[in-house]
Amino acid sequence: MRVAFIAAECEPWAKTGGLGDVVDALARALGRIPDGPAGLVDVFLPRYRSVPIPPQAKEAGEIDVPDPASAEGSAAVRVLEAETHGYRLRLIDHPAAFDRPEIYGYDDDVWRFGLFSRAALEVLRRDAVPPDVLHIHDWHSCASAVFRDTFYASDPGLGRAALLLTIHNLAYQGWTPREAFPQLGLPPNDRSVAPDPAGLDLLWAGIVRSELVNTVSPGFAAEALTRRGGFGLDPALRWKGDRFFGILNGLDTEVWNPATDADIPATYDRADRSGKAICRSNVLSELGLDPDDPGPVLGVIGRLDHQKGFDILAEAADRVILGGARLIVLGSGDPTIASQLRGVARGWPDLVAFVEKFDRALARRIYAGSDVFVMPSRFEPCGQGQMIAMRYGTPPIVHRTGGLRDTVVDETSNVGHGTGFVFDRPTPESLVDAVTRATAMFPGGDGATSPEWEGLQDRAMAVDFDWERSSAPAYMAAYRRAVEIRRAGLEAGPRARPRAPLPRPG
Ligand code: ADP
């Protein structure tokens, strides 16, 4: 079983959110489990400007990749390879596409990620041993599914490869209007690839063409099948039947470990949490808040995006503060949400700290130094933040949605068995209610303890999200099943193929 990932992010080289964490952690875990893939997993990643070349990277030569944007019809793309972190990182270096300040957000993203996907397939086509599984992630690599079926169907290697698409985010779909089809090397009037007269939704194409599709928690998979939670793709997902399912993400318990974390001022573990008080006092001083105030400190980390519900938090902030809690917020993104949060911080300069940047080390100090972690996401495919917080002994307050509801047990309704606090509606009122419940139970951050709170922290820290024990074996099983489906379909011949692709849902 040879497996190749094609992904737009991979920690520590390129990350804007959970996608980067998951790609790295899963590739690594697959390399370690018994019955894992043969040889190293390949991880294809664009060489963005911000990607540092690993010192052990080797030049793997230049290949000619069909490139609709170039006058010659093809582009010379440099490939760099490094065996590192337990997998083989294969960087696609094409400065015209990737030597730019940001990872995403350009008008020609369809071309950029189309070229990336095509280059990955061209590299794999030249390998001595072809991949059995192409594991693609989010819309950025979904052009690979179109290309496999359009350009490589009769290739002895790639034509046999099975596709597994993992949806980390259903909201971004790579919409490509017909006039942009040439960016993918497809004729604009091609109806076989895109039955929708308006264009092609790349994520939809990945869904209908992949042998199997999963999302990153069972809870989110269930929501994605509904009109409300499906972002317009629920008909395509329902059409997949049992070929669409959820696999809960794990957490990299080596990367996220308060007992070994070099970025926090004092390490601690489940048996002895005394270091956590030092982390608390340290991060409060660092951010200009009083380290001796015993009230609960709520930590919040994430992309400032409508999805993450930081605006709900901003609206709730006055009530949260008046209830005795303080807030530390780390995040960057949407300027409107950022200015809302700046307003909150200005209103309560001694009680609220808002740090508007992406800072990995500060994030760790906040996970360790906060008393409670807040994640008010409107929707959440899985979420890493709440899992990291639990591992750091910081019970999370989460909205009952997607992966958040799969990973956090509400203490109020399961007294003595909870791992955090869960609220039902994405509203300031519902959030304030959960903060009030947490605050009422919190004994004080000045060294005071209570058996109830200690128990809550202990249960949160005890939850085992390790990739190698559950998620990675579940992906291996999915790879085997995808290969079986692909091989059976090819043997049965084109006329026996199960169902024709759906038109794009309205
Ligand atoms: P998403 O993938 O939707 O952004 P997740 O909760 O799955 O959300 O993953 C977010 C990851 O990114 C976590 O590891 C979190 O700590 C990290 N992160 C998000 N924003 C920041 C930031 N401003 N600084 C540092 N780390 C951040």
Ramachandran angles phi, psi of 87, nearest 5°: -145, 175
Number of Cβ within 10 Å of residue 267's Cβ equals 17
Q: Which of 9, 10, 19, 21 to mutate to test the pocket of ligand 1 (most atoms within 8 A of CB)?
A: 21
Q: Residue 246: which CATH number?
A: 3.40.50.2000
Residue 111 placed within a domain: yes
Expressed in angstroms and rounded, the spacing between residue 202 Cα and the centre of ligand 1 is: 25
Q: Which of 168, 358, 386, 408 to mutate to test the pocket of ligand 1 (most atoms within 8 A of CB)?
A: 358
Residue 329 and residue 290 share a domain: yes
Expressed in angstroms and rounded, the spacing between residue 15 Cα and the centre of ligand 1 is: 9
Expressed in angstroms and rounded, the spacing between residue 389 Cα and the centre of ligand 1 is: 12
- Can you tell me which atom of ligand 1 is nearest the CA of 307? 3
Q: How many helices (H) and strands (E) does the chain have?
A: 16, 17
Residue 208 and residue 85 share a domain: yes
Q: What's the pLDDT at 47?
A: 98
Residue 403 and residue 431 share a domain: yes
Residue 191 and residue 329 share a domain: no
Expressed in angstroms and rounded, the spacing between residue 304 Cα and the centre of ligand 1 is: 10
Residues ≥6 apart with Cβ < 8 Å to 503: 195, 196
Strand arrangement, sheet containing 3-6:
58-66, 74-84, 87-93, 42-46, 3-6, 133-137, 162-167, 212-215, 244-246
Residue 160 placed within a domain: yes
Residue 255 placed within a domain: no
Contact 248, 25 (CB under 8 A): no
Its domain, for residue 79, covers 3-250+470-491
Residue 16 placed within a domain: yes
Residue 399 placed within a domain: yes
Q: Which of 166, 329, 384 to mutate to test the pocket of ligand 1 (most atoms within 8 A of CB)?
A: 384
Question: Chain-centre distance of CA 136, in angstroms?
Answer: 13
Query: Rounded CA gap, 486 and 421, in Å?
Result: 43
Residue 479 and residue 455 share a domain: no
Expressed in angstroms and rounded, the spacing between residue 380 Cα and the centre of ligand 1 is: 12
Residue 502 placed within a domain: no
Three-state secondary structure string covering 251-311: ECCCCCCCCCCCCCCCCCCCCCCHHHHHHHHHHHHHCCCCCCCCCCEEEEECCECHHHCHH
The 10 Å CB-count burial string (b at 16+, else e) for 447-483 is eeeeeebeebbebbbebebbbbeebbbebbebbebbb
Residue 36 and residue 150 share a domain: yes
Residue 452 and residue 335 share a domain: yes
Residue 397 and residue 380 share a domain: yes
Residue 294 and residue 192 share a domain: no
Residue 416 and residue 393 share a domain: yes
**pTM above 0.75?**
yes
Overall domain count for the chain: 2
- Can you tell me which atom of ligand 1 is nearest the CA of 375? 6
Expressed in angstroms and rounded, the spacing between residue 487 Cα and the centre of ligand 1 is: 38
Expressed in angstroms and rounded, the spacing between residue 256 Cα and the centre of ligand 1 is: 13
Residue 475 and residue 455 share a domain: no
- Can you tell me which atom of ligand 1 is nearest the CA of 21? 14
Q: What's the pLDDT at 252?
A: 87
Residue 183 and residue 125 share a domain: yes
Contact 188, 158 (CB under 8 A): no
The 10 Å CB-count burial string (b at 16+, else e) for 362-375 is bbbbbbbbbbbbbb
Ligand 1 pocket (Cβ < 6 Å) reads: 17-19, 21, 301-303, 330-332, 358-360, 363, 383-385
312, containing H or E segment: helix 310-322
Averages of pLDDT over each 10 residues, the chain, 506 residues: 98 90 95 94 98 93 94 95 96 97 96 98 97 98 97 96 97 94 88 87 96 97 96 95 97 93 98 96 98 96 94 97 97 96 97 96 98 97 96 98 97 97 98 97 84 97 94 98 95 58 50
Residue nearest atom 20 in ligand 1 by C-alpha distance: 302
Residue nearest atom 19 in ligand 1 by C-alpha distance: 302
Residue 202 placed within a domain: yes
Residue 153 placed within a domain: yes
